[in-house]
Amino acid sequence: MGQNVVRSQRLNHIVVVLLCSILIWAPIPLGSNRIWALSLLELMIFSLGILHLVNCYRYNSLLVTYRWQKQIVLPFLLLIGYLCLQMLEWVPAIATVDSYQTSQQILKSVAYLVFAVLISEYCQSERHLRWLLVAIIISGCLQASYGTILNLLALEASPIFGYADGDRARGSFVYQNHFANYLGLCLCIAFGWLVSELKTHKSEFDISKLLVSALSTLFSRKLILRLSIIIMVIGLILSRSRMGNAGFFTALGVMSILALVIYRRPPTYLKPLVISIFILDLIIVGSIFGVEKVKQRIADTSFAAETRDQVVIDSIPIIKEHLLTGTGGGSFYAIFQNYQPQFYSGFYDHAHNEYIQFLVEYGVIITVLLGFWLIYALWLACRTMYLRNNKFYKGIAYGCAMAILFMLIHISVDFNLQAPANTLLFITILTLCWQVRYLPTIKNTN
């Protein structure tokens, strides 16, 4: 029996490492936003899913251990079931206009479900959660560093995939706004972890204690996390993404104010930390790497010249005609061509607004239910910040809540949830909302 437990724990470690590897890998091949890259990502996830099934059979265990995991699984099952109804057209009012794209949506949704189950099932200790956070931050730093280097070198095309970056950093993504969104999510998690490292008790001013604290910071996780944040902020600024930058710093400001209200004992240095992000990262570092260009892009934004706003307006008739049931998962491009009154200057296979695209493809009922699930995850994160005493869990809840706010802002002008790497990371963050709320405080599992 003891050997079985050891083997099970060893397998847990292996699965967590593989999950972390998938998170790091997902954005590398063009954000996994190509059929071959997405297929490879799905193959990796399904392989781990099969391994989980074998593990459950071998040790006679359930697919999910806790009741709260069902709250993560049920929305996925609802979405997959509805996509199947659209695909099969068993109900006359529920159908898809593009069966191929809907079948692809089913496959992606199943992969996301499997990944969420694996994250919630195998990352059930602080040790494994830290591994997961390290993977997210490593991935963000790799993307930021790669994007920054290519941008500063001003190469005509990226050395691996041959895409032209122009004057905007893209990392290994095709679209700079997907790159900015990915970095924003990683930044939120890094900031949340950094908040968890802050002291919560006030102490009298003592120069000797201050020096000791400063020296200890130089050799602690706080310095590494702070440097990681600076690296990712540089990448975010160089993306020149208007809403990517505005959304992140807005989410940071809003969550900082909320944290002061929600925390029963706010971290002592939370306000100085937030101020340092705005002053050091946004103003000083930003001035070096061109934050003025981002502000100029925002100032130069013209609604008359922005055809993406026209896409949103032209999508409204589709929503009105298919308000309850939608036109089918992944069918926006197929249906939009029939309603597009004129050709635009750009190519729009997505709505550049996830709220509009979800309403078009899934209808108001499914969209509202998924929206409630998202808001509930945000509420769980805020409850964790208020109720739990575990600093690590509270800090991660802070980062998760900030990431949700950031995503809710950014998807109002872009289609970030259509990029598999971004969606996979966001689903991981949503899963963390339940984990930090309900997992017991067990620091080490051997």
Least confident segment among 290-299, 311-320, 372-381: 290-299
Q: What is the DSSP letter of 320?
A: H
Tell me what pLDDT residue 346 has. 57
Tell me what pLDDT residue 200 has. 66
Distance (Å, rounded) from C-alpha 202 to C-alpha 268?
A: 6
The single-letter code of the amino acid at 441 is T
Write the pLDDT tens digit of every residue in 339-394: 877 666 556 678 889 999 999 999 999 999 999 999 999 999 999 999 998 999 99
Determine phi and psi for 336, rounding to 5 degrees: -65, -30
Tell me what pLDDT residue 305 has. 47
Which of 112, 174, 185 has the alpha carbon at shortest distance from 409?
185
Write the pLDDT tens digit of every residue in 389-421: 899 999 999 999 999 999 999 999 899 999 999
Tell me what pLDDT residue 267 has. 78
Q: pLDDT-derived band of residue 264, with 50, 70 and 90 as boundaries? A: confident
Tell me what pLDDT residue 298 has. 53
Distance (Å, rounded) from C-alpha 243 to C-alpha 250?
A: 10
Is pLDDT larger for residue 280 or for residue 375?
A: 375
Write the pLDDT tens digit of every residue in 32-90: 999 999 999 999 999 999 999 998 888 888 888 889 999 999 999 999 999 999 999 89
Tell me what pLDDT residue 5 has. 45
Q: pLDDT-derived band of residue 209, with 50, 70 and 90 as boundaries? A: low
Tell me what pLDDT residue 74 has. 96
Which of 299, 398, 308 has the alpha carbon at shortest distance from 354?
308
Average pLDDT on 237-264 reads 89
Q: pLDDT-derived band of residue 304, with 50, 70 and 90 as boundaries? A: very low
Tell me what pLDDT residue 293 has. 57
Burial of 24 (0-12, 13-18, 19+ CB in 10 A): middle
The single-letter code of the amino acid at 338 is N
Distance (Å, rounded) from C-alpha 74 to C-alpha 422?
A: 21
Tell me what pLDDT residue 163 has. 76
Determine phi and psi for 92, rounding to 5 degrees: -55, -40
Tell me what pLDDT residue 118 has. 96
Tell me what pLDDT residue 301 has. 54
Residue 125 has pLDDT above 60, yes or no: yes
Residue 286 has pLDDT above 70, yes or no: no
Residue 199 has pLDDT above 80, yes or no: no
Distance (Å, rounded) from C-alpha 107 to C-alpha 273?
A: 42
Residue 336 has pLDDT above 50, yes or no: yes
Q: What percent of the chain is predicted at pLDDT more than 90?
A: 58
Write the pLDDT tens digit of every residue in 154-186: 777 778 777 777 778 899 998 899 999 999 999
Tell me what pLDDT residue 81 has. 97
Tell me what pLDDT residue 351 has. 83
Tell me what pLDDT residue 405 has. 97
Which of 333, 240, 359 has the alpha carbon at shortest distance from 293?
240
What is the longest distance spanned by two Cα atoms in the chain? 75
Query: If you average pLDDT over every residue of the chain, what do you get?
Result: 86
Which of 120, 200, 127, 186 has the alpha carbon at shortest distance from 391?
200
Q: What token pair was written down for 265? A: 């004992």
